[in-house]
């Protein structure tokens, strides 16, 4: 996916782009739908700021330090306000507009979070919703995929799911992961439009009955 990378321009406690010798050049994380216990990227060790998504998120519902829940605090409008906020010990504050949160806890602990992800253009959390959001982030024109197919898939698979990636994987790999749980598929048709569907058990009356007489042994010829 064409996600931005960290610039490595922090100056002490100022900045959320990491340092030259730290995360510079690393792809920013992607969080779609409902994701539990994800490992965020520490974007400023001096001020204890972490990022779960490269742009706005719906919510950071919980933050844990070594498995212990921290106390939720205010949501701030930008990274400057987040850095300037006074956060009580054992608590966290968020900047949902930038996919950030800041903690006040001991350094060196394992920090994880529960997140409701990308909210730019509206929060999505179904299989079809996540597939459509990946295509949007890729910058594909909506005419390049079947909205009707996605609507049908949404009706067939309305359950809430999530996808978190901090490794910068390819869009095809992410879409494969999204499809896997619902036995969904995607493929371009002869006009190049991406179509979607789902493998489901057959229903209704059979149209044919196949037996041993219809089966043939195949021999490979090199």
Q: What is the mean pLDDT of each run of 10 residues along the chain (222 residues)?
A: 94 95 97 98 96 98 97 97 95 98 88 98 98 96 96 97 96 97 96 95 85 71 63
The residues near 200 (Cβ < 8 Å, ≥ 6 apart) are 156, 183
Contacts 24+ apart (CB under 8 A), 65-68: 65/90, 65/103, 65/105, 65/106, 65/109, 65/110, 65/111, 66/109, 66/110, 67/110, 67/112
Residue spans of beta strands (DSSP E) within 105-150: 111-118
Q: Which pLDDT belongs to residue 209?
A: 83
Q: Which pLDDT belongs to residue 220?
A: 64
The rounded distance, in Å, linking the Cα atoms of 3 and 84 is 27
Contacts 24+ apart (CB under 8 A), 142-150: 143/193, 144/192, 144/193, 144/194, 145/193, 145/194, 145/195, 145/196, 146/193, 146/194, 146/195, 146/196, 149/195, 149/196, 149/197, 150/196
State whether residue 24 is helix, strand or coil. coil
The rounded distance, in Å, linking the Cα atoms of 159 and 192 is 29
First to last CA, the chain: 40
Burial (Cβ within 10 Å: 0-12, 13-18, ≥19) of residue 137? buried
pTM given for the model: 0.90
The residues near 213 (Cβ < 8 Å, ≥ 6 apart) are none
The rounded distance, in Å, linking the Cα atoms of 31 and 35 is 7
To which H or E segment does residue 178 belong? helix 171-180
State whether residue 108 is helix, strand or coil. coil
Q: Which pLDDT belongs to residue 211?
A: 79
Q: Contact, 43 vs 51, CB < 8 A?
A: yes
Q: Which pLDDT belongs to residue 206?
A: 86
């Amino acid at each position: 996916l064409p996600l931005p990378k960290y610039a490595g321009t922090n100056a002490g406690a100022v900045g959320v782009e990491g340092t030259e010798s730290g995360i510079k050049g690393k792809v920013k994380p992607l969080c779609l739908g409902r994701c539990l216990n994800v490992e965020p990227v520490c974007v400023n060790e001096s001020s204890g700021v972490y990022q779960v998504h490269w742009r706005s998120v719906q919510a950071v519902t919980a933050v844990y330090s070594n498995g212990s829940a921290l106390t939720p605090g205010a949501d701030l409008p930008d990274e400057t306000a987040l850095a300037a906020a006074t956060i009580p010990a054992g608590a966290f504050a968020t900047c949902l507009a930038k996919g950030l949160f800041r903690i006040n806890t001991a350094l060196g602990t394992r920090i994880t979070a529960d997140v409701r992800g990308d909210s730019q253009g509206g929060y999505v959390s179904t299989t079809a919703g996540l597939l459509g959001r990946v295509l949007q982030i890729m910058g594909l024109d909506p005419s390049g995929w079947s909205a009707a197919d996605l609507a049908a898939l949404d009706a067939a698979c309305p359950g809430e799911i999530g996808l978190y990636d901090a490794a910068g994987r390819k869009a095809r790999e992410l879409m494969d992961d999204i499809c896997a749980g619902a036995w969904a598929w995607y493929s371009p048709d002869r006009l190049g439009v991406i179509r979607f569907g789902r493998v489901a058990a057959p229903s209704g009356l059979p149209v044919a009955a196949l037996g041993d007489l219809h089966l043939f042994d195949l021999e490979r010829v090199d």
